[in-house]
């Protein structure tokens, strides 16, 4: 009997053993392990910023977020491509960048239009903190007078923005105290006479209470003889509504 017939298991090309199915699976697993490409964190971050920038249609904070999203989106694409295939996530980065750009452009246009149209015709836009409150009062011979920069506004139809303070009702308000900002009402401070006004609704109108910034259109008046801690300024308002913009 020949040697070949005694060893049928060795009757292969080159005399080697046939490859086991298990060894083939192991080689495939090793290849899969080395084929794995991680996702760069820059991609998801750019996408999250792009989604967050959708708030740019409703406020200035969202527009700021959109600006950050545009910068991060560009950097993400550059860094991922610089990795030459070592990381992935370009799709996330591009999607986030596109969202941020669209929200920045169209959100800015929407806010600009709101700013241009929110002031009623015939009314003068006045910045409560800068044009009134910051000037405080002038004193001549110990007598309180309106500051020369503020006096020309008295009797004028003005458009102001500020915050309601300690309203007792949520609906049917005929008047309320109007603050230059929400610091005094939210942190328990005592507003100065030049930091607040009394808004009186005219023509039998009423308004509801607002928690956010409020826009008021009406005639500005002043009583320099108001007592200590009392508002000097009053507004005979024809319009009170939630402010469309915060500036």
Q: Give yes or no: residues 161 and 209 share one domain.
A: yes
Mean pLDDT of 171-183: 90
Report the length, in residues, of the chain. Answer: 247
9 and 108 together in one domain: yes
Residue 84, pLDDT score: 85
What's the whole-number mean pLDDT along residues 73-78?
94
CA distance 86 to 117: 51
Quote the pLDDT of residue 179. 93
pLDDT band of residue 20 (cuts 50, 70, 90) is: low
Last residue of a domain, one of 91, 116, 141: 116
pLDDT score for 9: 47
For residue 130, being part of any structural domain is answered with yes
| C-alpha angle 50-52-54 in degrees, rounded to nearest 5 | 85
Q: How far is CA 103 from CA 47, 51, 93, 112, 116, in A?
A: 13, 9, 15, 13, 19
* Structural domain for 220, as ranges: 124-242
Q: Do the domain assignments include residue 75? A: yes
Do 84 and 194 have their domain in common? no
Task: Judge if 97 and 34 occupy the same domain.
Answer: yes
Same domain, 111 and 63: yes
Q: What is the mean pLDDT of residues 203-229?
A: 91
As for how many domains the chain has, the answer is 2
Query: Lowest mean pLDDT: which of 54-68, 157-171, 176-190, 195-209?
Result: 176-190
pLDDT tier at 98, thresholds 50, 70, 90? very high
Whether 12 has a pLDDT exceeding 50, the answer reads no
- The predicted structure's pLDDT at residue 148: 94
What is the arithmetic mean of pLDDT over 33-47?
A: 84
Residues 214 and 152 both lie in one domain: yes
- Do 201 and 137 fall into the same domain? yes
CATH number assigned to the domain comprising residue 175? 2.40.50.140
Q: Indicate whether 92 and 193 sit together in one domain.
A: no
**pLDDT confidence band for 187 (50 / 70 / 90):** low
In a domain, 247, yes or no: no
Q: What would the mean pLDDT of 199-227 be, rounded to a whole number?
A: 92
Specify if 95 maps to a domain.
yes
Tell me the per-residue pLDDT of 111-144, one tens digit each, with 9 for 90 and over.
999 999 999 999 999 999 999 999 999 888 888 8
Provide the Cα torsion 203, 208, 209, 212; round to 10°.
-100
What is the rounded distance in angstroms from the CA atom of residue 12 to the CA atom of residue 91?
50
Closest CA to 214 of 169, 165, 155: 165
Last residue of some domain: 94, 116, 138?
116
Let me know whether 107 and 172 are in one domain: no
Shared domain for 95 and 159, answered yes or no, is no
Percentage of the residues of the chain whose pLDDT score is greater than 90: 59
128 and 231 assigned to the same domain: yes
Q: Please tell me whether residues 104 and 150 are part of one structural domain.
A: no
- Do the beta carbons of residue 134 and residue 149 sit within 8 Å? no
Q: How far apart are CA 231 and CA 219, in angstroms?
A: 15
CB-CB neighbours of 63 under 10 Å: 19
Answer whether 0.85 is exceeded by the pTM: no
Q: Which residue has the higher pLDDT, 167 or 164?
A: 164
């Amino acid at each position: 009997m020949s040697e070949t017939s005694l060893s049928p298991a060795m009757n292969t090309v080159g005399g080697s053993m046939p490859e086991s199915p298990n060894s083939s699976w192991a080689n495939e697993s090793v290849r899969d392990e080395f084929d794995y490409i991680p996702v760069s964190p820059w991609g998801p971050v750019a996408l999250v910023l792009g989604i967050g920038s959708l708030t740019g249609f409703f406020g200035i904070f969202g527009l700021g977020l959109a600006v950050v999203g545009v910068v991060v989106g560009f950097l993400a694409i550059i860094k991922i491509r610089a990795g030459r295939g070592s990381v992935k996530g370009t799709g996330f980065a591009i999607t986030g960048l596109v969202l941020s750009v669209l929200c920045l452009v169209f959100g800015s246009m929407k806010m600009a239009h709101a700013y241009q149209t929110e002031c009623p015709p015939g009314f003068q836009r006045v910045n409560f903190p800068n044009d009134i409150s910051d000037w405080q009062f002038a004193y001549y011979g110990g007598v309180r007078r309106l500051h020369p920069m503020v006096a020309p506004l008295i009797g004028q139809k003005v458009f102001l923005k500020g915050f309601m303070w300690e309203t007792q009702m949520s609906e049917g308000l005929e008047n309320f105290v109007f603050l230059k900002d929400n610091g005094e009402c939210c942190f328990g401070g005592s507003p100065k006479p030049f930091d607040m006004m009394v808004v009186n609704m005219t023509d039998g109108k009423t308004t509801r209470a607002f928690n956010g910034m409020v826009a008021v259109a009406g005639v500005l008046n002043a009583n320099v003889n108001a007592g200590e801690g009392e508002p000097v300024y009053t507004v005979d308002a024809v319009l009170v509504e939630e402010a469309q913009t915060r500036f």
